[in-house]
Amino acid sequence: MVRGYALAWVAYVVAAGIISRSARPPRGALVWIVVVAIGLRLVCLARTPALSTDMWRYLWDGRVANAGINPYRYAPDAPQLRHLRDDNWQSINFKPISTIYPPAAQVMFMALARVREADAEAFRWTFALFDIGSIALLICLLRRTGRPPERVVWYAWCPLAVTEVTAGAHVDAAGLFLLLLAFALAARSGGRPGPASAAALAGAVMTKGYAVLAAPFLLRRGGWRALPWLTLPCLLLIAPYLGVGGQLFGGLHAYVARWKVNSSVFFLLDRMLEAVTPLHFEITRAVTIALVIAVTAWLVWRQGSGVEGLMKASFAAIFAQLLLGAPTLPWYVVWVAPALCWWTIPSGVLFTFTVSAQYYARWLYPGDPAAHDKLLLAGYLPVYALLLGQLILWRLRLRRSGPSRIP
């Protein structure tokens, strides 16, 4: 699989590079980009085996909710839910842990499970449609910001997006669509978010928590008048599930307290502290959260104007979480892949390949921690080396340009 994915990624980079470097893209290029993008997703839906078991958890949560039970109340292996088990139950991962997915996602799970209760095909097709919708929003945003719409190729043909959304069937596709919708609505008013933009971001946050990293930048641009439109939809979505009390966050707490797979900075810091204290994981989690907050605060201070400044800061904050925090799962990187349509950063492009290659290659070495560590190094070292080289070049250019030209 890794070899095939590598070939697809090289072909994508070459094709996207040619299209985006063209001063005047050929007539009809945008149509072909969109047609090929849709074709890739349809082929992946029909011919690519499932890459993840998450969709079975989505289906289970929806099944539980349709039975009139709060999905946050019990873990899948709870005796109280034994009567709901079917053949799909065996495919659920982490059965002793209650759901981690936010309320808007739960509403969607409930609706899709009602449509097709026996399989997860409704989820795969729905997320593929959300992904195609994201492509349409990116084209609108590129035009709004004065960029060639053909640059959408950097997302539309990205193997990471194609595989993780369609074969992986991850709810991130819906969350990303709502985040891009928030940006598109803000673009209509010169980059200043209004009630509709804030409500769309609320939907994104309540679908997948990653979108919360965009909230400080939206509030910086929209002012405190946007706050009620951001918080009220969240409260309305959470309200039906409050009956479980603290159990509402039980799955999320377990996730934060245990998961660190495929991480980089988090992994290194945790390894160093492991020899010093038994609380190494908790300290690492606290330190990396503090670092992400510090980076986000700096980005708020340095945030540029217009919708492009809003997007740049939001994507940068999410990228910081992916590099500093844990876990760094391939489908999480889909959240920053759209940024390549504006800023084709070589290390970011490479990241879309290595984060998947190293993650799925782990299954070639089951139960071999040393091999997994080597895969992490092989995947992350080139990305960080390239990123560091870019930063050094940027600083050198700033020095040569002179103080008068530094904004």
- The answer to whether 230 and 215 are in contact (CB under 8 A) is yes
Mean pLDDT, rounded, for 157-175: 95
Find the distance separating the first CA and the last CA of the chain, reported in whole Å.
Answer: 46
159/333 Cα distance (integer angstroms)? 12
Least Cα distance to 97 among 256, 207, 211 occurs for 256
- The answer to whether 204 and 212 are in contact (CB under 8 A) is no
48 pLDDT more than 80: no
pLDDT at 192: 84
* Tokens coding 374: 């080597």
pLDDT at 406: 37
Least Cα distance to 92 among 72, 71, 75 occurs for 75
- The answer to whether 62 and 111 are in contact (CB under 8 A) is yes
Backbone φ and ψ for 50, nearest 5 degrees, come out as -60, 135
DSSP state of 242: G
189/208 Cα distance (integer angstroms)? 26
Share of the chain above pLDDT 70, in %: 98
pLDDT at 403: 52
DSSP state of 71: T
Least Cα distance to 374 among 361, 383, 384 occurs for 361
162 pLDDT more than 60: yes
Count of alpha carbons within 13 Å of 400, Cβ hemisphere only?
A: 6
The whole-chain average pLDDT of the chain stands at 92
- The answer to whether 210 and 332 are in contact (CB under 8 A) is yes
Q: At what angle do helices 280-302 and 306-324 cross, to 10 degrees?
A: 170
CA 322 to chain centre: 9
pLDDT digit string (tens) for 122-157? 999 999 999 999 999 999 999 999 999 999 999 999
176 pLDDT more than 90: yes
Mean pLDDT, rounded, for 320-349: 96
**Token match 């009602």: residue?**
114
Please name the residues in contact with 49: beta carbons below 8 A apart, sequence gap of 6 or more. Answer: 167
295 pLDDT more than 70: yes
pLDDT at 178: 98
Mean pLDDT, rounded, for 16-32: 88
Mean pLDDT, rounded, for 90-100: 94
Helix locations, 239-305, DSSP H: 250-258, 265-274, 280-302
331/98 Cα distance (integer angstroms)? 21
220 pLDDT more than 70: yes
- The answer to whether 197 and 223 are in contact (CB under 8 A) is no
pLDDT digit string (tens) for 184-197? 999 998 878 899 99
285-305 residues labelled b (16+ CB within 10 A) or e (exposed): bebbeebbeebbeebeeebbe
User: With 0-12 CB in 10 A as exposed, 13-18 as middle and 19+ as buried, what is 53?
Assistant: middle
* Tokens coding 405: 């030209």
DSSP state of 325: S
pLDDT at 407: 36
Helix locations, 145-249, DSSP H: 153-156, 159-162, 172-187, 195-205, 215-222, 227-238
Least Cα distance to 199 among 249, 207, 346 occurs for 207
Give Rg (Cα) of the chain.
21
Please name the residues in contact with 61: beta carbons below 8 A apart, sequence gap of 6 or more. Answer: 71, 99, 101, 106, 109, 110, 113
Mean pLDDT, rounded, for 49-72: 93
pLDDT tier at 215, thresholds 50, 70, 90: very high
Share of the chain above pLDDT 90, in %: 79
- The answer to whether 149 and 186 are in contact (CB under 8 A) is no
pLDDT digit string (tens) for 270-292? 999 999 999 999 999 999 999 99
Does the CA dihedral 325-330-331-333 come out positive or negative? Answer: positive
CA 48 to chain centre: 21
Query: Model-level pTM?
Result: 0.94
**Consecutive H or E run containing 116:** none
pLDDT at 46: 82
